[in-house]
Amino acid sequence: MTAFFFGNSDRQLYGVYHAAQSGPGRPIGVVLCSPFGAEAIRAHRILRVLAERLARAGAHVLRFDYRGTGDSAGDGSDVDLEQWQGDIASADAELRDMSGVTRVIWIGLRLGASLAMLAARKPPAGLAGLVLWEPVVRGKDYLAELDRMHHAFMINELDETWERIAARNRQRSKGVRTLEALGFEIGAPLEQALEALDLAKVEKLSAKRVFVVGGEQPAVTAELMAHLATLGAESDSIDTAADDAWNSEQAMNAFVVPRITLDAIVARVESWR
């Protein structure tokens, strides 16, 4: 496991490389695409465990932070989905350069899955498959969910009404509107991009193989699967609704790893080698 910075020095990205330890079959790389905000923090340990398991199975793995997130340069006010798709491409190039692999799988979790699918409209050569793990299919729904969770969290933590919390924030912000969700700023460019995000309307996909790891909304997953079929992708899915406890406030203080889901993802990567 090697932590390092890559990319231009004025907007460097933080990455952690897990070199392949062994394993038969063709060499393969895996780029792990993190979720956003509080979900990224909840997922950090899970993605480390997944990276270690994949490395033990013979894959070269890179996990990284998008610009304005984690340890990467920038703050959350001026990022958007286009830049983050570019960061996935940069991470992919970095992994190929470090490991020498020519075939790479992208695994994205939550918003990271959405970004991976968007970036796969124009992927580098040798994209061997996409794993979309509990993808954010519609940005509008996601923003509404974040807003609901933020309100509920703050009301519960401060034991105040939302009106009182909001009034205090209006006073403190001096009229400047800041959209935030569970500790993370959502700047105007990101908000606009999320408003427009709809994976069920993506018109092109160059990845030929897609594995969807479904979350707690089977109808949304089914809609995405139907759309993937129209795009000509060879796709299938599993339902892991019973294994999604990682994404909770309580899990922030527990070493919770969704083992069933990780087993399925590792098995899929091995089958795609």
Q: Is 261 in the site for other proteins (CB under 8 A)?
A: no
Q: Is 154 in the site for other proteins (CB under 8 A)?
A: yes
Q: Which residues, 218 to 237, sit near other proteins by CB under 8 A?
A: none
Q: Is 17 in the site for other proteins (CB under 8 A)?
A: no
Whole-angstrom distance, CA of residue 259 vs CA of residue 91:
26
Q: Which residues, 28 to 47, sit near other proteins by CB under 8 A?
A: 38, 41, 44-45
User: With contact defined as beta carbons under 8 Å apart, do 132 and 211 qualify?
Assistant: yes
Stretch that binds other proteins, among 85-93, 106-114, 242-250, 257-265 (CB under 8 A): 242-250
For the chain, the first-to-last Cα distance in angstroms comes to 22
Burial 29-62 (b: 16+ CB within 10 A, else e): bbbbbbbbbbbbebbeebbbebbebbbebbbbbb
Count the residues of the shown chain that bind other proteins, applying the rule CB under 8 A: 54
- Measuring CA to CA, which residue among 89, 85, 153 is closest to residue 113? 85
Nearer to other proteins, 24 or 175 (CB): 175
Q: Is 168 in the site for other proteins (CB under 8 A)?
A: yes
Q: Which of 82, 157, 234, 236: binder of other proteins (CB under 8 A)?
A: 157
Whole-angstrom distance, CA of residue 219 vs CA of residue 140:
16
Q: Minimal distance in Å, beta carbon 75 to other proteins? A: 8
User: With contact defined as beta carbons under 8 Å apart, do 143 and 168 qualify?
Assistant: no
Paired tokens of 34:
């993190």
Q: Which of 172, 177, 204, 219: binder of other proteins (CB under 8 A)?
A: 172
Q: Is 252 in the site for other proteins (CB under 8 A)?
A: yes
Residue 145 host element (H or E)? helix 139-158
Q: What is Dmax (Cα atoms) for the chain?
A: 61
Q: Is 52 in the site for other proteins (CB under 8 A)?
A: no
Q: Minimal distance in Å, beta carbon 130 to other proteins? A: 25
Q: Is 140 in the site for other proteins (CB under 8 A)?
A: no
Paired tokens of 263:
């087993």
Q: Is 239 in the site for other proteins (CB under 8 A)?
A: no
Whole-angstrom distance, CA of residue 157 vs CA of residue 72:
29
Residues within the interface to other proteins (CB under 8 A)? 1, 3-5, 12, 14, 16, 38, 41, 44-45, 48, 69-71, 73, 75-76, 150, 153-161, 163-164, 168-169, 172-173, 178, 180, 182-185, 216, 241-242, 244-245, 247-248, 250-256
